[in-house]
Amino acid sequence: MKNKRVKKAVIPAAGLGTRFLPATKALPKEMLPIVDIPTVQYIIEEAVASGIEEILIITNSNKHCMENHFDKSYELEDRLAASGKKAEVKMINDIANLADIYYVRQKEPRGLGHAIMCARSFIGDEPFAILLGDDVVVNKGGTPALGQLIDSYYKIGASVVGVQTVAEDQVSKYGIVAPDPSHKQKGRLCKLTDMVEKPKKEEAPSQMAVLGRYVLTPEIFELLETQEAGAGGEIQLTDAIKRLMDIQAVYSYDFEGIRYDVGDKFGFIKATIDFALDRPELKDDVMKYILEVAEKAKAVK
């Protein structure tokens, strides 16, 4: 039987963003700009480029500006049009027309698993994607990270989690997958037997970390419904995926692309620099400044 199309995606965005305080006191972390584009817009553009048609963003009561960003802004459009700024009018129109975007609030902070549960009626009985906003992935000239997972789902008809190799001293920051030793790896696809949330270095089953991209079958909702609280007293998606492995196959896919951890301050700075260097109107000035800073650093040494 042909696998159902993956048309819907969920973006959990109800977190408080405490690592970026005080900026996130009034501004959602998902709206922090990388150069001049909010992080969540990059995530949505990746989803759309991967074939996603409908997106549900899980928010909280303090994230109205995210909804405003992806809505029409008639007053702004009128002012820009009156000033002859046609390119800017097209730009903000394109943002409003990216995809069919819906919103639901997570009424209490009970973890990622609970946030995904809030999407149950939206998803129904279809396979669906999850994109976490802390990971921005760029795969220039190639298939987007999520698109790679969706292509893999069509081939195997099973849930797929996106992974990449991290340094041994970094495994304690991530969910780490355990490959099935009895199952031959198919290129970048690997059947899993376990997932361990933030293991100690010496206890990690591999160095393959789950990095914010998933394609899951709808059976995950039945498991989340009965999932007990785990780490931090919250309902963890990782725990439900581990239980999913008991009833159906779950794979990892080592996706291609440069991944930026924009939930980390240094990762956010790296993304800002790299994205600025990729902009023709900024590249020369940014590179000149970087070289000047490097020369000053040498002089200090």
In a domain, 1, yes or no: no
In a domain, 193, yes or no: yes
Is the whole model's pTM more than 0.75, yes or no?
yes
Domain residue limits at 110? 8-263
Q: What is the pLDDT of residues 1-54, one digit of tens each?
A: 467 899 999 999 988 888 998 998 888 899 999 999 999 999 999 999 999 999
Q: Count of domains in the chain? A: 1
In a domain, 285, yes or no: no
In a domain, 273, yes or no: no
Q: What is the pLDDT of residues 189-207, one digit of tens each?
A: 999 999 888 888 888 899 9
pLDDT of residue 1: 44
In a domain, 301, yes or no: no
- Which CATH number belongs to the domain containing residue 170 in this structure? 3.90.550.10
Q: What is the pLDDT of residues 148-180, one digit of tens each?
A: 999 999 999 999 999 999 999 889 888 899 988
In a domain, 185, yes or no: yes
Backbone angles phi, psi at 127, to 5 degrees: -65, 150
